[in-house]
Amino acid sequence: MGGNPEIDGGHPACQGGVSVSDAEALADGLLSADAAAMLLALLAAAQAGTEEEVPVGAALRDAQGRFLAVAGNRPVAAQDPTAHAEIRVLRQAAQRLGNYRLTASALSVTLEPCPMCRSAADHARVARVQCGAFRSQSITEQDIGASLAGGHAFFAPEGAELLRIFFDKRRHV
């Protein structure tokens, strides 16, 4: 698949150990493309958590499995209520490709997207959404055009643990 120099190391989650090229190499050999994407999203979520953001991360791949964008939540720092990880990767990929239509792309996110993010993925024509952890009050798959990926939820316990720790700290302050 080859590394993507435009985003290798560009996201804080990619610095200090794992880069997009590393994730692509994992997808080529050790891990499936879905697992590698979720690992990258998990690293972005962890980085967001260290920045006092809700620890959710997302990664977007094109039809060939190349990573287009990786991001974590950032609404607090950006002072932007729409700066969710999913929205950020959709924006980055659209700008990078020069087209808001991200057909045949796959979005991997550590927590099932909220209605705003699901709608944005639908408008961007994302073909597939892979979720790590699921929300307890989930809306049904029929509510969006992009299909929720079935099968194994890679790194779901780790993503859920990041969220549990984050909210436990908030409750005890």
Which among 73, 55, 85 has a CA at the least distance from the CA of 170? 55
Amino acid at position 91, single letter: R
**Residue 15 CB partners (closer than 8 Å, separation 6+):** 9
141 counts as catalytic: no
SS3 111: strand
Q: Which of 24, 53, 86, 112 is catalytic?
A: 86
Q: Which residue type does 1 have?
A: M
As given in the structure block, the two tokens for residue 138 are 């989930």
Across the beta sheet with 57-61, what order do the strands follow? 67-72, 57-61, 106-111, 128-133, 147-148
Q: Max alpha carbon distance in the chain (Å)?
A: 45
The residues annotated as belonging to the active site are 86
